Chain A
Amino acid sequence: MELNSKVPSGPIEKKWEKHRFDMKLVNPSNKRKYKIIVVGTGLAGGAAAASLGQLGYEVEAFCYQDSARRAHSIAAQGGINAAKNYQNDGDSVYRLFYDTVKGGDFRSREANVYRLAEVSNAIIDQCVALGVPFAREYSGYLANRSFGGAQVSRTFYARGQTGQQLLLGAYAALSREVALGSVKMFPRHEMLDLVVIDGHAKGIVVRDMITGKISSHAADTVLLATGGYGNVFYLSTNAKGCNATAIWRAHKKGAFFANPCFTQIHPTCIPVAGEHQSKLTLMSESLRNDGRVWVPKKAGDTRKPWEIPEDERDYYLERIYPSYGNLAPRDVSSRAAKRMCDEGRGVGPGGRGVYLDLFDAMNRLGRDVIAARYGNLFEMYERITGEDPWKWPMRIYPAVHYTMGGLWVDYNLMSNLDGLHVLGEANFSDHGANRLGASALMQGLADGYFVIPYTVADYLAKVKPGTRPSVDHPAFKEAEREVEARTKKLLAVGGKKTVDEFHKELGQVMWEYVGMGRNEAGLKTALQKIPQIRERFWKEVLVPGSGSDLNQELEKAGRVADFLELGELLAYDALMRDESCGAHFREEHQTPDGEALRDDEHFAYVAAWEYKGEGKAPELHKEPLTFENVHLAQRSYK
């Protein structure tokens, strides 16, 4: 199948403007005749539902949490990028675009990235108007800070809770629409299938997580904004409930899954403490602005950090990447930490950790300044580890954080499945093979506030009002039957192992063979092991209770069953992408000093996978990537 990215013609600076004019509009009096389903209420979904409700569409929004305000966007700490150039330090839309394409290691679509940079400024304006209390200078103007992978200060922030404040802004806008009746909110509802009629996405099947009731919802178009799939690794910085079920169900109904192997490992997380660990906690990357990362020069050095003299410490990021230093991009920093630990120079229990040391900054700036900047992060660290960062340098280690891959979308954010739009982390489009810090919040809100309201109108203008199918259509009944059968099947296995045990087992295989460093033999091992775990899951899993009331084990079981399929595709994609790029590091392809070595001749494409049925190999569709503005070059942060 031909993948048409529908990128408008013309110079990159004019594409979005031209496209906005070329797109069709929906007559204001017709808007209320269209129903739009939005699944997920994070930055992308929440912003989209609020904005579309304001425009006059009938919107239904779904989330699995008990309130729309709890989506995992809320946990983003550091900030949001915009090309305002308020700092007069040389920033521009073009530079943000350039940095993002380069940061993504030339595996994103130029036109999408340019649009993202272009709307970034309007996002800040909108958020300020909604009452987001961004950090301010004493003048009253907005403050900025720098962030990993950038040499300008373009990051706006609200203490260490930027994601929370941006989400609460979108949630407030959404709440207003709920009060007006333009958005109907369905919390504690989980999407379990997509309904496709004659090739068009026309609705979803959901489970009410309190009563267990399965029901159908029909719409003129469906928007998925359900986040990423990082929990396929079991341990990640994602919330426990984050899952891939919505996008995986859509994939099985025909939507292509693009670049699943592009998974980001964040360099600054609190190291794993033990077997019982249920999730990993990120320490904001902003700590790297003032923190220095180091390990002892000598392997197996067990002295206390303050007993190690300056000349026996290896500030390896500053040594290897003198121009970016401690601000080297995430993928680069993560791999460097792993290399140090592989050399036996890691610190802390198990030797999987490096120091993030703010003592130089404390001496230079004073404790008050450090407390104002990072006080809440220090408290969080102490609460979790029991160690006081005012006395000990923090220990950090990389952890799975964000997934750049996701459902394939065109320039209009529509998947290859007509009528199915995908927003935010759930799509693949803007971050290529590696996302830069403070860019996820930007993309979520760009998609929700400033892209989808236009492109969805263009789509709906081609749908005749009043042609929306009823939920009595056989396709809905069939999908409901499938969902119910699957629930029954999960409950009927009656084995001896818990869902968590299978999830952990999958996670170990993913982290070991499909994690930070990947190679052919390891990926082939993973591709053997994952189907075996999946087979055992369906024979040996123990899901207690019934489907007809609140059953958290059943919810988890469905999600893990999907991860057991997605994990295989992820490993397969990683095997087929026989190059290194961004966060995808194939050990066979590296420069003499251990950096990712791309193969642009053979792999400058988006790998979009088509589901072909159970037990069948997925089919690869390629969208070639061309770089007309940012020239293909090896990334260098030296």
Chain B
Amino acid sequence: MKLTLKIWRQESPADKGRFAVYEMNDVAEDVSFLELLDILNQRLIKKGERPVAFDHDCREGICGSCGFMISGIAHGPQKLTTTCQLFMRQFKDGDTIVAEPFRSRAFPVIKDLIVDRSALDKIVQAGGFISARTGSAPDGNAIPIPKKDADLSMDAAACIGCGACVAACPNGSAMLFTAAKISHLGLLPQGQPERKQRALRMVAKMQELGFGACSNHGECEAVCPKGISIDFIARLNRDYMVASALETMEPVKKV
């Protein structure tokens, strides 16, 4: 098939950036979106032009490296799908596809389609963990965990940290990302001792990093390639309110 690619090109964070248009002929339908960029880049390099920079790694939908706005939707039109798993059979001959970086105040553009998502790491560093020193653990079966809790925890833990939720949110909020981590750990007995502090620290960090607030828009859930439910945001709010009422935030300390 024949496709027109309109891609955001930006040399550096300081550059203003612009769209460039590329015509792609004879595209097979079992080509992935990233492979389409590979094909384009080979052509650009041979013509002496600068190839399109984009983050990618595992190309099987799990590492969370890739992700752009594809024709206005984070990760493109197919539900529950990362950019690397989006194949051309989702498009029609003659389509124009617009690719631009995830845009959010907390995700500055580095180059072309690459953005800096280190803010997500900082939210996890603020409290997205259980402080279990290596070697200190009891037997894995010492604490039975009801299957439905373990399953729900796993639903939340499936987050790949791609940042699509942030990019899709009109407020640039990282609530779904943060809620997924808080729910994953908060649903498990091991996560209880630090549960309140975790909510206080992660929410405070999120605000400090320039992410917006949640206004129940729901676009985050709609674009999430792993189907993380916004119900988890309710869990975050609950943990945060309880913690705010009962505790003051303490910094992370050595054990």
Question: What is the minimal beta-carbon distance from B166 to any residue of chain A, in angstroms?
Answer: 14
Residues in A neighbouring B29, C-beta threshold 8 A: 386
The proximity string for B residues 117-134 relative to A, scoring 1 for CB distances below 8 Å and 0 otherwise, is 110110011101111111
Chain A residue nearest to B254 in the complex (CB): A180
Known pairs A68-B121, A129-B136, A138-B147; A549 contacts B126 (CB<8 A): no
- Find residues 132-162 in chain A having any chain B CB closer than 8 Å to their own CB: 133-142, 156, 158-159, 161
Contact A173 B30 (CB under 8 A): no
Contact B58 A175 (CB under 8 A): no
Known pairs A159-B154, A278-B34, A545-B50; A187 contacts B254 (CB<8 A): no
Question: What is the minimal beta-carbon distance from A336 to any residue of chain B, in angstroms?
Answer: 25
Q: What separation, in Å, do the CA atoms of A171 and B185 have in the docked complex?
A: 14
**Complex partner residue of B154 from A158, A187, A210, CB under 8 angstroms:** A158
Question: What is the minimal beta-carbon distance from B205 to any residue of chain A, in angstroms?
Answer: 10
Q: What separation, in Å, do the CA atoms of A68 and B48 have in the docked complex?
A: 34
B31 at the interface (CB under 8 A from A): yes
**Complex partner residue of A273 from B30, B61, B150, CB under 8 angstroms:** B30
The proximity string for B residues 27-38 relative to A, scoring 1 for CB distances below 8 Å and 0 otherwise, is 011111011001
Residues in B neighbouring A178, C-beta threshold 8 A: 121, 125
Residues in A neighbouring B16, C-beta threshold 8 A: none
Known pairs A131-B130, A500-B38; A70 contacts B63 (CB<8 A): yes
Residues in B neighbouring A384, C-beta threshold 8 A: 30, 85, 87
Q: What separation, in Å, do the CA atoms of A374 and B27 have in the docked complex?
A: 31
B247 at the interface (CB under 8 A from A): no
The proximity string for B residues 207-219 relative to A, scoring 1 for CB distances below 8 Å and 0 otherwise, is 0000000000000
B3 at the interface (CB under 8 A from A): no
Q: What separation, in Å, do the CA atoms of A47 and B133 have in the docked complex?
A: 11
Contact A67 B120 (CB under 8 A): yes
B55 at the interface (CB under 8 A from A): yes
The proximity string for A residues 156-179 relative to B, scoring 1 for CB distances below 8 Å and 0 otherwise, is 101101001100100111011011
Contact A553 B154 (CB under 8 A): no
- Find residues 178-195 in chain B having any chain A CB closer than 8 Å to their own CB: 184-185, 188, 190-191
A636 at the interface (CB under 8 A from B): no
Known pairs A66-B117, A125-B140, A131-B191; A74 contacts B32 (CB<8 A): no
Report the count of interface residues on A (CB-CB < 8 A).
83
- Find residues 1-54 in chain B having any chain A CB closer than 8 Å to their own CB: 12, 28-32, 34-35, 38-39, 42, 45-46, 48-51, 53
Residues in A neighbouring B137, C-beta threshold 8 A: 122, 125-126, 128-129
- Find residues 73-93 in chain B having any chain A CB closer than 8 Å to their own CB: 78, 80-81, 85, 87, 89
B243 at the interface (CB under 8 A from A): no
- Find residues 511-553 in chain A having any chain B CB closer than 8 Å to their own CB: 542, 544-545, 549-550, 552-553
Question: What is the minimal beta-carbon distance from A476 to any residue of chain B, in angstroms?
Answer: 27
Q: What separation, in Å, do the CA atoms of A636 and B38 have in the docked complex?
A: 44
Contact A542 B46 (CB under 8 A): yes
**Complex partner residue of B45 from A47, A129, A161, A498, CB under 8 angstroms:** A498
- Find residues 355-406 in chain A having any chain B CB closer than 8 Å to their own CB: 379-380, 383-386
Of the candidates B35, B46, B62, B80, the one having the most CB atoms from chain A within 10 angstroms of its own CB is: B62
B104 at the interface (CB under 8 A from A): no
Contact B134 A54 (CB under 8 A): yes
Contact A140 B144 (CB under 8 A): yes
A496 at the interface (CB under 8 A from B): yes
Q: What separation, in Å, do the CA atoms of A50 and B124 have in the docked complex?
A: 14
Contact B57 A126 (CB under 8 A): no
A281 at the interface (CB under 8 A from B): yes
Q: What separation, in Å, do the CA atoms of A185 and B124 have in the docked complex?
A: 14
Contact A168 B157 (CB under 8 A): yes
Chain B residue nearest to A52 in the complex (CB): B134
Could you list which residues of chain B lie within 8 angstroms of chain A, going by C-beta atoms? 12, 28-32, 34-35, 38-39, 42, 45-46, 48-51, 53, 55-65, 78, 80-81, 85, 87, 89, 110-111, 114, 116-118, 120-121, 124-126, 128-141, 143-147, 150-151, 153-154, 157-158, 160-161, 184-185, 188, 190-191, 252-255
Known pairs A50-B134, A176-B125, A498-B45; A276 contacts B31 (CB<8 A): yes
Of the candidates B39, B121, B254, the one having the most CB atoms from chain A within 10 angstroms of its own CB is: B121
**Complex partner residue of B62 from A140, A161, A273, CB under 8 angstroms:** A161
Residues in A neighbouring B38, C-beta threshold 8 A: 276, 278, 500
Contact A542 B130 (CB under 8 A): no
Q: What separation, in Å, do the CA atoms of A240 and B34 have in the docked complex?
A: 11
Residues in B neighbouring A134, C-beta threshold 8 A: 140, 150
Contact B46 A274 (CB under 8 A): no
Known pairs A380-B85, A384-B87, A386-B29; A129 contacts B141 (CB<8 A): no
A24 at the interface (CB under 8 A from B): no
Contact A552 B62 (CB under 8 A): no
Q: What separation, in Å, do the CA atoms of A583 and B168 have in the docked complex?
A: 46
Contact B64 A278 (CB under 8 A): no
Residues in B neighbouring A279, C-beta threshold 8 A: 59-60
Additional 20 contacts, C-beta under 8 A, given A54-B134, A69-B64, A130-B190: A47-B134, A51-B134, A65-B65, A74-B62, A124-B140, A126-B132, A128-B140, A131-B130, A131-B153, A134-B150, A139-B144, A142-B140, A180-B253, A240-B58, A276-B28, A380-B60, A386-B87, A453-B134, A544-B50, A553-B45
Known pairs A129-B138, A133-B150, A550-B114; A175 contacts B59 (CB<8 A): no
A90 at the interface (CB under 8 A from B): no
Contact B252 A172 (CB under 8 A): no
Contact B46 A164 (CB under 8 A): no
Contact A383 B87 (CB under 8 A): yes
Contact B135 A122 (CB under 8 A): yes
Residues in A neighbouring B57, C-beta threshold 8 A: 65, 70, 72, 239-241
- Find residues 424-453 in chain A having any chain B CB closer than 8 Å to their own CB: 449-450, 453
Contact A552 B53 (CB under 8 A): yes
**Complex partner residue of B138 from A65, A125, A453, CB under 8 angstroms:** A125
Q: What separation, in Å, do the CA atoms of A498 and B43 have in the docked complex?
A: 10
Chain B residue nearest to A67 in the complex (CB): B121
Known pairs A139-B144, A384-B85, A550-B111; A65 contacts B51 (CB<8 A): no
Contact B64 A129 (CB under 8 A): no
Residues in B neighbouring A332, C-beta threshold 8 A: none
Contact A549 B12 (CB under 8 A): yes
Known pairs A131-B190, A179-B125, A239-B59; A496 contacts B46 (CB<8 A): yes
**Complex partner residue of B30 from A84, A124, A126, A386, CB under 8 angstroms:** A386
Contact A172 B129 (CB under 8 A): yes
**Complex partner residue of B118 from A66, A142, A449, CB under 8 angstroms:** A66
**Complex partner residue of A130 from B49, B87, B120, B132, CB under 8 angstroms:** B132
Question: What is the minimal beta-carbon distance from B74 to any residue of chain A, in angstroms?
Answer: 17
- Per CB-CB distance, the 3 closest pairs between chain A and chain B, nearest first, are A140-B144, A129-B137, A172-B129
Known pairs A67-B118, A278-B38; A176 contacts B150 (CB<8 A): no
Question: What is the minimal beta-carbon distance from B104 to any residue of chain A, in angstroms?
Answer: 15
Contact A173 B134 (CB under 8 A): yes
Residues in B neighbouring A125, C-beta threshold 8 A: 137-140
Known pairs A133-B150, A176-B252; A75 contacts B190 (CB<8 A): no
Contact B140 A75 (CB under 8 A): no
Question: What is the minimal beta-carbon distance from B83 to any residue of chain A, in angstroms?
Answer: 12
Contact B133 A54 (CB under 8 A): yes
Contact B147 A136 (CB under 8 A): yes
Q: What separation, in Å, do the CA atoms of A68 and B184 have in the docked complex?
A: 19
A27 at the interface (CB under 8 A from B): no
Chain A residue nearest to B136 in the complex (CB): A129
Question: What is the minimal beta-carbon distance from B213 to any residue of chain A, in angstroms?
Answer: 24
Residues in A neighbouring B78, C-beta threshold 8 A: 383
A627 at the interface (CB under 8 A from B): no
Contact B124 A383 (CB under 8 A): no
Contact A141 B144 (CB under 8 A): yes
